[in-house]
Structure 1
Amino acid sequence: SNSEPIPLCVDLDGTLVKLDTLHQALFLLLRRDTASILRIPGWMLKGKAHLKDQVMRRVTLDASVLPYHQQFLEWLRSEHTAGRKLILATASNYRTANAVAEHLGIFDEILASNEDTNLRHGHKLEAIRERFPAFAYAGNEASDFPIWEAADEVILVNPTRAARTKFAARAGHVFIEQRPVARMFLKAMRCQQWLKNLLIFSPMFLAHRFTESASLVRATIAFFAFSLAASSIYVLNDLFDLSADQHHPRKCRRPFASGDLPIAVGSLLTPLLVILSFILCMFLPLSFFFTLLAYYALTTLYSWRIKQTAIADVLMLAVLYSMRILAGAVATGTAASVWFIEFAIFLFLSLALVKRMSELREMENGFGQDNTHRERGYTIEDLPLLLAFGTASGYIAVFVFTMYLGSDKVTRLYSRPDLLWVFCPLLLYWITRMWHLAWRGRMQDDPLAFAARDPQTYLVGALGIAAILFAI
């Protein structure tokens, strides 16, 4: 009858789902099959439809964890319940469209790309018109303009500025679910993790050169160069881990996994951060640049493969932390203390094992990812081993520190070296407490992020630094 609402055609990428499913599938494919990067140009030469088909033949996205536009989805459910005909009209490959439609259970028909046709722009409009003389359309960007112009009802979902400007007056409904872009950029860069790079200042501090302005300036430049490089790795890692993160109770809220930042933006942000980092390296010794380059290569290798290998992953993390100390040494022209590097390797190996322990505790308690999606080399049965390895490594770090206190170097650097023994019980307390909390499942999977919010860590750190300063 004439009173029945006209069929509603719904776009997928950027509209129903807050990200581009092809972009996510490409990163998932590269993660699983690195050699496929050599085949992608050939697929692209045969057209976008062929590219989508080849990618989706090889990977499958889990429709149950995709970041849906929740407000819009709830409205669609109410329209479906009221009897309105809903059509998923998308340029995504039909495999993705079918998976989404099957998961949601609200669509009556599907119009999607196949191996021969990329259902975008005019092709999508033509397919819709063939089926429905009158229709409503929900979309979000410039490629939807021709369809909106032909539609009897316009629905805007997270529209671009151009879409709002041109179609806001005709829009029957507008759904916006966006977070501040600047905040999402900072979150994607994980600026809170820059605290780790304060280790760059440690060689200068331990050599009592913190009053030298030239050394302080070089260390500060090195800090930002290292931090920008590390952020580029975090962004790249998040792009490759998109599908795994969407299954995690907390990581699913990361900017790319949640769709709050476009995946294409992340692809541009990574090289931009690297370039900025290398520009800062121009103001530092060439040896710092090579140290940073080695760090970048090892971190990329870790993100790509090593973090999926038990034991090798935590050893690599310990090495990467120690490289920050070496970077600070070469940036300021300060000799790196062998004692301190040995201490750091054991301490950060212990903290890396704390991280794995907390991940497994979450999984054991039913709050984390199951092993199908974690892509880690550990299982719950490894918990006793991790506890033994991690606590032993932490206590060895304290033992190395006590050996250092008995060395000739201490008497040359400190006028009251006995005060440094205060550091030992403080460090023993802090390490034991971290493991105690991890064993009880009361720590999130990053111990340094936990420490950055922990008042007791700040108290222990302040007392330790005070002991060092009074000992000088």
Structure 2
Amino acid sequence: MLDKRQNVDPVLVVDLDGTLLRSDLLYESFWSAFGKDWRCPFLSANALRSGRAALKAYLADASDIDTTLLPYDPDVIAYVEAWRERGGRTALVTASDQSIASRIADHLGIFDEVHGSDGTLNLKGPNKAKFLTEHFGETGYAYMADHAVDLPVWQHAKKVITVNAPTSLRGQAEKLGPEFEHLTTSGSSAKAHLKALRPHQWLKNSLVFLPMFAAHQLDIITVLESFFAFVAFSLIASSVYVLNDLLDLAADRAHPRKKKRPFASGAIPIANGTWMAPGLLLAGVLISLALGWKFALVMLGYYVMTTAYSLHLKRRMVVDICVLAGLYTVRIVAGGVATGIPLSVWLLAFSIFLFFSLAAVKRQAELVDSAQRGKLSATGRGYHVDDVPIVSMMAIGSGYVSVLVMALYLNSPAVMVLYPYPAALWGICLVLLYWISRMVMVTHRGNMHDDPVVYATKDRISQICLLLVLVFAAGGMLI
């Protein structure tokens, strides 16, 4: 039971979702449960038949949320602590399920009591207003919240406190309470939403242009087809990135760098991401259909493979590396399908081995980072830090095989059709040998970015290597 003592200062009642927490536990628990069991959407729909409180109870039980890593608002915490220091009482009252709310209150240690939905009663809006009035009396509490659904609660509060509320809501809230205060601690921005799309990763999608360049077909129609294939791939890839971030919230928050990602840090509401993923997918599908049903089928295969990777395959040892290599190569296949350019077996073989190497480097980097932080395994992956030597050998071995494929291609009759001076192309083999060896060494020393492709775009040496490759390729055509 709540303490009904009348104090000089009213009890400070704090909402959880969007107020104390820069997130929403309903979405948090859904994505956590979905990451554990792909049947979650169907089971959630079944639970919802018994009401929202029942849905929250199911998700709270099905999910595995680490309350110590959630994105709390430090300014709200400081406000609550200051209230307690003045001798006031505090209560966490939320529509989220009681079990998770209690764990949050225990972790923070700044609330005298905590109340949440119990599987039957959804403690939200009018229900919350009635609950608080019965226990604290009319105007017996100050209420801190962020949403229009809280207006019925503010109507019975002695003091209205809004957190990051829009101007229109502030005006409505001010009319309800004799006292009011507005806190502005943070807000989602267009920049944060753009960051969530990972535009720096779109560089990978430039592989769709490779068939065009490899075949030396640079007419306007082919260029436009490749461009729209690039746009479709970028939209669908960003949809998958958003989905992956939502499924990886716990692992990202436990990571020293990934915890700064928009969804993990609370810079963007998870609710936004829940709609961004299908919206981006739909836009990409429409462009894919415009490029023909064959290209659309390739994109469907890419999306299915990537989704399977996000939901399960990324936790399977070696399988994850094979899938990543395949996802890179699919981009080249898509470029060929979009433009109607037949793909060379040499190009596909080179791509598979090179991208297997880069995927292994990515895992090597994660394992080295885990070892440096004193962990025995990489969070959410199927590897132990003891696997570093083997993964490193996989990376360098596959990379060298890709160079061997290139060397064999340079000795084939096919190369003479496109390059009058193929001897100049041997310089590419030397550059690749150096670059692959250096990437593995940089990773071994713990200096690799989480994604080797992103690292390569920012690394001056890698940029010089790319320039040299272009020079040797041009030499094969012009010398």
Name the TM-score class by shorter chain: over 0.9
User: How is 1:48-447 mapped onto 2 (pairs within 5 angstroms)?
Assistant: 48-133=52-137, 134-167=140-173, 172-210=180-218, 212-366=219-373, 371=377, 374-447=379-452
Note the alpha carbon deviations across 1:287-327, whole angstroms, 9 max, x for none: 11111111111111111111100000001111111111111
What letter corresponds to residue 140 of structure 1 in structure 2? D
31, 36, 51: which is aligned to 2:35? 31
What letter corresponds to residue 289 of structure 2 in structure 1? M
Note the alpha carbon deviations across 1:247-287, whole angstroms, 9 max, x for none: 22222222222222222221211121111112212331321
Describe the shift of the 1:279–1:305 C-alpha distance in structure 2 as closer, same or farther (beyond 3 A): same
Counterpart contact for 1:24–1:243, Cα < 8 Å:
no
Q: State the TM-score, normalizing by the size of structure 1.
A: 0.95
Note the alpha carbon deviations across 1:325-356, whole angstroms, 9 max, x for none: 11101111111121111111111111111111
Note the alpha carbon deviations across 1:218-264, whole angstroms, 9 max, x for none: 00000001111111111111111122222222222222222222222
> Which one is further off, 240-249 or 321-330?
240-249
Counterpart contact for 1:111–1:127, Cα < 8 Å:
no
**Distance of 2:371 and 2:356 partners within structure 1:** 23
**Distance of 1:334 and 1:44 partners within structure 2:** 50
**Distance of 1:441 and 1:355 partners within structure 2:** 12
**Distance of 1:123 and 1:179 partners within structure 2:** 28
**Distance of 1:441 and 1:61 partners within structure 2:** 30
Q: Could you tell me how far 1:7 is from its partner in structure 2?
A: 1.1
Matched, 1:451 2:459: no
Structure 2 unaligned regions, length at least 5: none
What letter corresponds to residue 126 of structure 1 in structure 2? K
**Distance of 1:35 and 1:7 partners within structure 2:** 42
Counterpart contact for 1:87–1:110, Cα < 8 Å:
yes
Q: Could you tell me how far 1:179 is from its partner in structure 2?
A: 4.5
> Which one is further off, 298-307 or 34-43?
34-43
Counterpart contact for 1:60–1:96, Cα < 8 Å:
no
Note the alpha carbon deviations across 1:56-85, whole angstroms, 9 max, x for none: 123242111000111221222222233221
**Distance of 1:118 and 1:3 partners within structure 2:** 28
The equivalent of 1:46 in structure 2 is 50
Counterpart contact for 2:376–2:385, Cα < 8 Å:
no
What letter corresponds to residue 204 of structure 2 in structure 1? K
Q: Could you tell me how far 1:180 is from its partner in structure 2?
A: 4.9
**Distance of 2:53 and 2:330 partners within structure 1:** 45
Q: Could you tell me how far 1:204 is from its partner in structure 2?
A: 0.6
Count, aligned residues: 469
Counterpart contact for 1:31–1:240, Cα < 8 Å:
yes
Note the alpha carbon deviations across 1:400-430, whole angstroms, 9 max, x for none: 1111111111111111111111111211111
Q: State the TM-score, normalizing by the size of structure 2.
A: 0.94
Counterpart contact for 2:188–2:269, Cα < 8 Å:
no
**Distance of 2:76 and 2:381 partners within structure 1:** 35
Q: Could you tell me how far 1:172 is from its partner in structure 2?
A: 4.2
Q: CA RMSD in A?
A: 1.8
Identity fraction in percent: 38
**Distance of 1:389 and 1:228 partners within structure 2:** 31
Q: Could you tell me how far 1:3 is from its partner in structure 2?
A: 8.2
The equivalent of 1:468 in structure 2 is 473
Counterpart contact for 1:142–1:162, Cα < 8 Å:
no
Counterpart contact for 2:101–2:116, Cα < 8 Å:
yes
Structure 1 unaligned regions, length at least 5: none
> Which one is further off, 3-12 or 404-413?
3-12
**Distance of 2:441 and 2:434 partners within structure 1:** 10
**Distance of 2:186 and 2:353 partners within structure 1:** 43
